[in-house]
Structure 1
Amino acid sequence: MSKDATARGAQGDFDIVVVGGGSAGIGVTASLLRRRPDLRIAVVEPSDRHYYQPAWTLVGGGAFDVTRTVRPMADVIPRRAVWVRAAAAGFEPERNRLRLADGGALGYRQLIVCPGLRLAWEKVEGLDATLGRNGVTSNYRYELAPYTWELVRGLESGRALFTQPAMPIKCAGAPQKAMYLACDHWRRGGVLDRIQVEFDLAGAALFGVPTFVPPLMRYVERYGAALRFNSNLAAVDGGARKAWFDVKDADGNVRREERAFDMLHAVPPQLPHDFLRDSPLAGAAGWCEVDPATLQHPRYANVFGAGDAISASNAKTAAAARKQIVTVAENLIALREGRPMPVRYDGYGSCPLTVERGRVVLAEFGYGGRLLPTFPLDPTVPRRSAWLLKARLLPWVYWNGMLKGREWLAHPLGN
């Protein structure tokens, strides 16, 4: 088990400090220690649990056991790393120092910023107060994904609303995947024609990579779902089963519309953590600024970023982090040893779009929407093989590969 530093007033100097114990933080720590076992690395993470979040959509569709998506943090921290059980509070890159919320501080030679993002439930009036009851749920929270499935199973008529906030969000396909799996269950149960399904998107496109829009639209039409673009969830009254949306017209004018619901799957706005947004490391939008190819900070050469917290335009997915980990590990070690940085990240991200139970459109793409398929198959075709990859293989690879520093199919382009 990893050495555990007390959360109260932690102090110390390390070769590398990693901020965040999520997919990117644990993965990059493991990869670095596989390359250089003698590195002194601290992982700063206050939570005592680690989640495999990509499976929560499957949980909400009744296709995965939620207890298989969580493990104790102590079990996933790499053995030779030091786990600092504290929250980050601020960065002092000029002094090579990280401030902690408990009053402690850590010094470093290199810093890797990967604290993930913040789910801003409070940005939707009334939402947080009604989550988990009154028909209001979200697959973006561990304890709520099973409630999604409870609602889906129990609904036989009425109106089901699914929402998607403004980008960027983690796993941009997850809001519509919740809708597809629910609709497929209702279709199989013979009740879909008695349910009004509506997908409200704050943006103007169903998916950010145009290649995948036609196959997705075929499922939208198959399920009879109404798409409402430029429609952003603004407020919820769970007790009254009402939601309000700010709807923008072609001239940019916004009006507020009221909708009744029997089920509401809500996705919150997603923002950088305050301690990052207010720091010297942040770019204009508040994310950790990085060079999109090397993932090195443009102003502080000994700082790198990975995962959902960085400014690069890639999709915020675990699959993106899987390739970013290799980029950061290789480039950081090259920097330490005075060599040119050898690896360039191509913006790879993957979104296995679960369009029905048993079939997935495996969307893999990089910067600019360039298709980057792993397999020599038409990526726009829904496949059972992609479902098996999503539901069975990838969870195993995550726990036994990515978090252990095993970089299977994870190497981006070299220079």
Structure 2
Amino acid sequence: MFAATKLATRSAFRHNWVRFSSTAAAASSYKLVVVGGGAAGLAVSSTLAQKLGKNEVAVIEPSAVHYQQPLFTFVGGGLKDFSETHRPMGELIDGNAKWIQQAAAEIDPEANTVTLADGSKVSYDYLVVAAGIELNFGGIKGLEQAIGKNGVASNYSPQYVEKTHEFLQNVQGGNALFTMPATPIKCAGAPQKIAYLADEMFREKGIRDKVNVNYYTALGKIFAIDKYANAMNGIAKSRDVNVNLFHDLVEVDGANKKATFKVLGSGPNAGETVTVPYEFLHVTPPMKPFDFIKNSKIANAAGYVDVNQATLQHNKYSNVYSLGDCSSLPTSKTAAAAAAQSHVLKQNLLNQIQGKDVPAVEYNGYTSCPLVTGKHKLVLAEFSGYTGTPHETFFFNQANEHAFSYWLTAEALPSVYWNSMVKGTWKGPSTIRKLTNPANAN
């Protein structure tokens, strides 16, 4: 894989020529370009900017603010303040890297260039695509007109996450609906986490008997991994949360507070629609790859960056890598997955840049989904999305609700995120697991 001396030499010649040519601007060419300043992009760019030196790495990221998105559930549930979720992007991008504060508009892997929103081009020797995934509120009829009012909110957007708690506090009775779409999404447990927090909130207010809590998922299971699906089914039943499988939200009538679902699957009602009145509606929007990726030569048929699931190297273009939500890696799209992926990608890419002919480091599909079920209660799902096998860090059964798991997720991991992950020094709990669960007890 890494016998790429000719590529590295040719790439270095082109890189230096562009830098010193009188017809090219020095700021337009870099050894490495990272598209995306989210958790995955920062984890990669921070490390490699330090390894490669000043101005050898560029980060293409239009946003001035970086959000720690795993905290949004806590904000929507009224357990944390929104101010804890974000920091200025300029404080997080490594000082050795060049921040290009624009959106990517086109990727041309044949020419080794990224075209920016203003039409200018950035050349690269190596490219890492970590652009995330796009929230598609327009994919549901009427949602764009209803979101943020009419009792409709979403923890997936910094614009609407605070509305979740506000609207939940206003509920006095009726139907509270929580949805999960048919498309791949980031943090696949989040759509149901807020349902359990809402249930707890209604109980504390003494109105739970007046509210119907309904979870609608377009999928055929409440969670992809059987061990945790069994746990969540039990929790939902014990909290009187009504789980409706194969129901995909297709329309929101905000003015009349009605939600319409299409029945999926192969059952007797497949293809029919069901309209439900609501007092509160939490929507997980469908999600999709960004057009500049989907329309490029680096995308697979589904629009995601087509990479080897073990090495994270592109299946056609050897100087292109991808990780995180925009990649084709068949595992859950979470920050935990991005941390493990970044460790693999950085080793493989650095070995390639340095011309080392060594075996590739491989990613095993590890991901984690902390399923908040109440104040101080959490099911800590850890598994390989490739095999469906649990990879639990601790010796106790993490499918059980546990106060320690809640503390770890709500208090400890946010600090790890800001102080280690975005700085490129956190690779996930694999090392810790050798001490805390050496016998792989679960």
Which residue matches 2:99?
Answer: 83
CA distance in 1, matches of 2:144, 2:401: 35
**CA distance, structure 2, for counterparts of residue 49 and residue 100 of structure 1:** 19
Alpha-carbon distance, 1:409 to partner: 3.7
User: Once structures 1 and 2 are overlaid, which stretch shifts more, 390-399 or 372-381?
Assistant: 372-381
What letter is aligned with 1:401?
S
Cα deviation 1:375-407 (Å, max 9, x = unaligned): 222111111111111111111111111111222
**Equivalences for residues 140-219 of structure 1 within 5 A:** 140-219=156-235
Q: 2:383 aligns with which of 354, 365, 373?
A: 365
Paired position in structure 2 for 1:132: 148
Partners of 1:31 and 1:346 in 2: CA distance? 21
Q: Which residue of 2 aligns with 1:6?
A: none
Structure 2 residue 398 is the aligned partner of structure 1 residue 379: yes
Q: Secondary structure of 1:368's partner?
A: coil
Q: Give 1:141 deviation, angstroms.
A: 0.8
Q: CA deviation at 1:410?
A: 5.4
Measured against aligned partners, the alpha-carbon deviations of 1:202-250 in whole angstroms (never above 9, x if no partner) come to 1111000111012111221122121111111001111111111111351
Amino acid at match of 1:328: L
In the TM superposition, 1:279-290 aligns within 5 A as 279-290=296-307
How far residue 39 of structure 1 moved from its aligned partner, in angstroms, is 6.6
1:152-207: per-residue Cα shift (whole Å, max 9, x none)? 22212111010000131000000000101111111233221210111111111100
Equivalent residue for 1:250, pick from 261, 264, 267: 267
Equivalent position amino acid for 1:379 in 2 = Q
State the one-letter code of the partner of 2:188.
A
Q: Which amino acid aligns with 1:364?
A: E
Instruction: Show the counterpart of 1:346.
Output: 364
Question: For 2:153 and 2:319, how far apart are their aligned partners in 1?
Answer: 41
Letter in 2 for 1:142: P
8 Å contact kept, 2:189–2:223: yes
Identity of aligned residues (%): 38
Match of 1:312 in 2: 329
Determine if the alignment matches structure 1 residue 403 to structure 2 residue 422: yes
Query: Counterpart of 1:4?
Result: none
- Residue 412 of structure 2: aligned partner: 393
Q: Indicate the residue corresponding to 2:277 in structure 1.
A: 260
Match in the other structure for 1:5 = none
Q: What is the distance in 2 between the residues matched to 1:341 and 1:40? A: 26
Report the CA distance between 1:372 and its aligned residue: 1.0
Q: 1:66 to 1:377 in 2, by over 3 A?
A: same
Alpha carbons of structure 1 residues 373 and 295: separation in structure 2 relative to 1, 3 Å = same
Distance 2:201 2:379 in 1: 18
Match of 1:322 in 2: 339
* One-letter amino acid of the counterpart of residue 416, structure 2: V
8 Å CA contact 2:393–2:430 kept in 1: the answer is: no
- Which residue identity is paired with 1:254? G
CA distance in 1, matches of 2:35, 2:100: 10
Conservation of the 8 A alpha-carbon contact between 2:55 and 2:98: no
Question: What is the Cα deviation at residue 255 of structure 1?
Answer: 1.0
Would the alpha carbon gap of residues 330 and 353 (structure 1) be closer, same or farther in structure 2, given more than 3 Å must change?
A: same
Contact 2:323/2:338, CA 8 A, preserved across alignment: yes
Structure 2 unaligned spans of 5+? 1-24, 434-442
Please say if 1:277 is aligned against 2:272. Answer: no
**What does residue 251 of structure 2 align with?**
235
> Within 1, Cα distance between the matches of 2:269 and 2:45?
46
Q: 2:374 aligns with which of 338, 343, 356?
A: 356
Q: Deviations over 1:281-335 (max 9, x none)?
A: 0011110011001000010000000110000111100110011111111100011
The aligned amino acid for 2:97 is A
CA distance, structure 2, for counterparts of residue 237 and residue 256 of structure 1: 14
Q: TM-score, normalised by structure 1?
A: 0.94
> What's the CA shift for 1:149?
0.8
Contact 1:203 1:230 in 2 (8 A): yes
- Quick check: which has more Rg, 1 or 2? 2
Separation (CA, whole Å) in 2 of partners of 1:243 and 1:251? 21
1:344 match: secondary structure: coil
